[in-house]
Structure 1
Amino acid sequence: MSTSHIQTLRAMLREEKGVILPGAPNALAARIIADLGFKAVYLTGAGLTNMHLGLPDLGFMDLSQVADHVMAIRCVIDLPLIVDIDTGFGNAVNVTHTVRILEQAGASAIQIEDQHAPKRCGHFDGKELISLEEMVGKVRAAVDTRRQDLVVIARTDACAVEGFEAAIERAGRYIEAGADVTFVEAPESLEDLKAVPRRLMAPQLVNLVLGGKTPIIDEKAAAEMGFSLVLYANAALQGAVHGMLSTLSALKEKGVLDERAVTSFAERQRLVDKPAFDLMGARYAAHAARDNGQRRT
């Protein structure tokens, strides 16, 4: 498998600021993100849990489920793919297995966090952290295990538990352990948000959760602050839910729907690349017909 998507991501982190990173809860969402011209895709753990299992983001996904979705997405897009692995599915030894599996599945980067399992959404209350030393071990395990220059992103949820200064200290230690990018989750003031890229000597990711705890800033402001990646992990999911509620409410109320109320049938087929499969089918049907004709003669 080509690993050019990893080098594309590394170049992006070196050379660009304020890159919008939409989250995808499944392969169709990833196709739409690519179709619209975004530069990278984030496989969201919360979105995957909500969409695939219909459950809240409380640590219900396992490694095999995540790997299946990574493979599905990698089969349909060439963009860099950043994969949320929550707490790494266990201790540092388990992290080594997670990294091997997801590298082979097609991840460009993994993002691991310092919550105690089972984790909670970064914008939920009641989070608990593992020790700094244990998380440093997990980061080192991920860095030591990678074989294809996979990007390692270390997230800390310390803002809500130990305070902003502790979050900066933890992120700094994760950089020392080899993390390529750090992600200080849920700073609650604009002042703290601005301080993150100024105080940490590695590329930074900011997570903008619609309805969450972090102030929402635009792409230009994020770039000026120094953030490399601007994550909207579940904007696509929330938009899809909004569309489903609107469409299905209209169906229930009126008892009938018009195609004008939804994405067209033709557009749905285009987004899943059906014309390419039609051409493929015609090509191989022609080969089969020619081969049958030759056998008869």
Structure 2
Amino acid sequence: MAFGSRLREQIAAQGTTPLIGVYDMYSASIAARHYDGLFVSGFGFAAAYYGLPDIGFIAWPDIVAFVQRLRGAFPGHHLLVDIDDGYTDPEVAGLVVETLERLGASGVILEDQQRPRRCGHADGKRILPLAEYLDKLEMVLETRRDLVVVARTDATEEQEILARAKALAATSADVVLVDGVRSVESIQRIQDVIGDKPLLFNQIAGGRSPRLSLAELSELGVDAAIYSTPCLFAAHEAIEASLTGLRESGGRLPSMDRAGAVGVEAATELLEKNLARTRPPEVRVTG
């Protein structure tokens, strides 16, 4: 079964499908131990690859190269990819989608922001005229063969949110995402206007949206949830704590006897699993 079809079936199944935001191969290696779905987060990738905020610096060949490495290492995982606004015009968006699908992406998220764009949970977002966005979305939909397409709006005013959500649900996009939704009540109103179209919810620590468990999201009828930055922010906290401790200890590394300690053996074991999945099978000649 194709990657898009597999993700589409998972989203259609009972409950809320989680997809965990990863920002490099190491974070993906850890996330893949715990979840079947990985999300290529624009926020995380901009931070990790460029050291810059998520305001439009990502070049599409860099995302494509990352997805190619991910698919090689994780052949059985769902890979949902944030492609921002499709990297400007409809023709580029179509090329990016065609390339990602060929490399094994499961799905993409296309937003309706104008450039310079902003993180979906930040102030100052501006959206494209609806007709302009729908033209770009249509190019993506015509280009994909099996890929899951998530149509995303970054509208912030209630009436505009509902109008856009309804318009996106009327297309052949597989899923609708309203980013930065601020309340459970708003989720319910969005559900009312999109009908049977699957809904995706984005959670980011410190963001605009309420913190909801998968059980709570499932109860609300939300079909999928992306967790944009748990790996990135956990790494930030851990690195800060580790280097603070290293400085305070005068440069002495901590003991490996402590609970949860990670050293060269554990790291190598993690990475060797990726090598095993990417190594071609042995060919045995008999006769």
* TM-score for both structures, normalised by structure 1: 0.87
Distance 1:114 1:167 in 2: 12
Which residue identity does 2:60 align to in structure 1? Answer: L
RMSD over equivalenced CA pairs, Å: 2.0
- The answer to whether structure 1 residue 45 and structure 2 residue 42 are counterparts is yes
Distance 1:275 1:225 in 2: 36
CA apart distance, 1:231: 1.5
- The answer to whether structure 1 residue 56 and structure 2 residue 53 are counterparts is yes
Deviations 1:196-242 (A, max 9, x none): 23431311111111111111111111000011112211011101111
- The answer to whether structure 1 residue 157 and structure 2 residue 119 are counterparts is no
Which residue identity does 2:230 align to in structure 1? Answer: A
- The answer to whether structure 1 residue 22 and structure 2 residue 15 are counterparts is no
CA apart distance, 1:264: 2.5
| Structure (1 or 2) with the greater helix fraction | 1
Report the equivalent of 1:292.
Answer: none
Distance 1:174 1:198 in 2: 13
SS of structure 2 residue aligned to 1:121: coil
Greater Rg, structure 1 or structure 2? 1
Which residue identity does 1:51 align to in structure 2? Answer: A
In structure 2, the CA distance between the partners of 1:276 and 1:233, relative to structure 1 (3 Å rule), is: closer
Report the equivalent of 2:64.
Answer: 67
Report the equivalent of 2:88.
Answer: 90
Preserved CA contact (<8 Å) 1:23 1:41: yes
Please identify, of 260-269 and 177-186, the stretch whose mean Cα deviation from structure 2 is larger: 260-269
The correspondence of residues 235-274 of structure 1 with structure 2, limited to 5 A, is: 235-254=230-249, 255-260=251-256, 262-273=261-272
- The answer to whether structure 1 residue 172 and structure 2 residue 156 are counterparts is no
Distance 1:249 1:83 in 2: 34
Which residue identity does 2:252 align to in structure 1? Answer: V
Please identify, of 150-159 and 260-269, the stretch whose mean Cα deviation from structure 2 is larger: 260-269
Please identify, of 181-190 and 47-56, the stretch whose mean Cα deviation from structure 2 is larger: 181-190
Preserved CA contact (<8 Å) 1:122 1:157: yes
Distance 2:122 2:136 in 1: 23
Please identify, of 18-27 and 236-245, the stretch whose mean Cα deviation from structure 2 is larger: 18-27
Percent identity of paired positions between Structure 1 and Structure 2: 30
2:33 aligns with one of 13, 32, 35: 35
How many residue pairs are counted as aligned between the two chains? Answer: 275
Distance 1:26 1:215 in 2: 27
SS of structure 2 residue aligned to 1:220: helix
Distance 2:55 2:21 in 1: 18
Preserved CA contact (<8 Å) 2:84 2:111: yes
Where does the alignment leave 5 or more consecutive residues of structure 1 unmatched? Answer: 288-297
In structure 2, the CA distance between the partners of 1:267 and 1:145, relative to structure 1 (3 Å rule), is: same
CA apart distance, 1:276: 5.7
